[in-house]
Amino acid sequence: GGLTATRDFDSIYIDYFVVEKEYRKSGIGRKLLLRLEEIAKEKNVKRIMLLIYYVKRHFRYRRSTKSCI
């Protein structure tokens, strides 16, 4: 898993946060966020912000020739 963040005055912005598919549901993401929270407290940061970007996935659509009736 990985996390990158940027500090701006009294805020931390999470720019990149990912856990590889095979390691999801194992607690790695939670540990990363808890560690970031510890760092924020040490630096007297007031808020942590997660920036979310939506990426449209391209996919092929194959129209069915079967009747729905």
∠ Cα 36 17 54 (to 5°)? 135
12 and 36 Cβ atoms separated by less than 8 Å = yes
DSSP 51: -
* Predicted local confidence at residue 59, as pLDDT: 53
* Predicted local confidence at residue 51, as pLDDT: 72
Q: Are strands 2-8 and 11-18 parallel, antiparallel or unpaired?
A: antiparallel
Q: 19-68: per-residue pLDDT in tens?
A: 998 998 999 999 999 999 999 999 999 999 987 776 666 555 444 444 34
Distance CA(38)–CA(30), nearest Å, equals 12
